[in-house]
Structure 1
Amino acid sequence: MVLHLENVSMRRGETWILKDINWKIEKGQNWILFGLNGAGKTSLLNLLNAYTFPTNGKVSVLGMEFGKTYLAERLRKQIGFVSSAIQEKFRPDDNAFEVVLSGAFASIGLYETPTDEIRQKAITLLENLGCIEYANRNYETLSHGEKQRVLIARALMADPALLILDEPTNGLDFIAREQLLESIEDIMKTPDAPAIIYVTHHVEEILPLFNKTLLLKAGQVFASGDTSEMISSEQLSRFFELPVSVIWNNNRPLLSKVQMVEK
């Protein structure tokens, strides 16, 4: 079991941010976490990374049960986390290679001396993700898409059992988005690939290998199950509370609002 959440709720002040979340991810599954802005996606990710803890319920991630032992640092070393929040934490003078190397130590910035083996692994990941050509450039000078590739390479340095990609294509144009999605698909096809949670509110980003989807709405699980059933006209019309149409083309979904014809 990659993760298991049982009746998980989280309160901030008098407001319930998450309510009665039940979610299981088994080895071999790759999940889409789909929800609109304000649905609670960030709160749920912070919970999975042990940055916050539930008010009620039971959380187990990678076999570690919250509350049974101090697990934050040990857990985060087994989770590769890519988000815009992490992107903003690196120093201006860190180059891309140093950012990737820091992933071996689960640190923001490089404070330890990497071995030759670690350096070679970083080079291989940079090559595989198509970013070796800008390895020596300062991280802050990279485009958004280049930064995302570097962060994914960093996340893979520690051979994580779980990789969380939090809206990784935000701000990318069509070509850059598709190139990044292609790299993610390549990762998913490797024999030792981690389980992946891909967070988005754009259905057109959903790749064929994401076989499961959780729909999150107002801090609660609206529905979860096979992606083909979750990302459907009927299900998403209920989710959005307006009529929409989902068309699958080349095993990728396209979403549009149904135009009502006036009589």
Structure 2
Amino acid sequence: MSLIIGNKSFQSRLIVGSGKYRDFETTKEATLASGAEMITVAVRRVNIMDKNSPNLLDYFKDTSIAFLPNSAGCINAKEAITLFRLVREGIGIDFIKLEIIGDTQKTLYPDMIETLEATKVLAKEGFNILVYMNDDPIMAKRLEENGAVAVMPLAAPIGSGLGIQNRYNITFIKEAVKIPVIVDAGVGCASDASIAMELGADAVLTNTAIAQAKDPITMAKAMRLAVQAGRLSYEAGRIPKKPFATASSPTDYMPALS
């Protein structure tokens, strides 16, 4: 079944980032290997606006991969709103990832007060907003009520590679909202992505785990397979956990012993 986010439909449930790669060519190769149909781009850090400088858009012009501009580097609602207005005017994209960082020194955690305010304004202006957030089910509901088309709770601090630190909260968020839940930030390896999908996440976004791997192309392939496997496992329905053993072979048939 397709993943529906706002006014777009995707077959892949893996979204990748574009930062921390050694060059744009590797970014493209890894993205294609991942099977992702969307790549997020920090507009303040990766060029997609200036056509007179090396431009990431040029490397993807022969693909069908969609760009998801994000507001990494913005620290308040005003900055993010201004940035996305410029993006829409400059390249015509209104499908965006809203990211407003409150602690820029240590945790890189988002400022949810500023994030909620920006969501309200941008939604009224017709943007399709995927919102980076803490793993807070109450805030996820508030964002949905104010126009977000998807929520993107962190698994762990950005770039940490720690994997999902609070599995219960991801489940709670999934239960709290009807819009897609995309686990974002802190994924370190393929098994982390698979766990996120087994918890019921609709998709996973990862950047550093691929870009900084010893072999980004191979890791991108691993992430693709992990997301697919995790989704299939979730749809299949796992067995209940029990604190005791249960025989895996039938016990109601006992052949006669000669």
Q: What band does the TM-score fall into relative to the shorter chain?
A: 0.3 to 0.5
Which structure would you say has the larger RCO, counting Cα contacts within 8 Å and 6 or more residues apart? 1
Per the normalisation by structure 2, the TM-score is 0.39
Give the structure with the higher percent strand.
Answer: 1
Per the normalisation by structure 1, the TM-score is 0.39
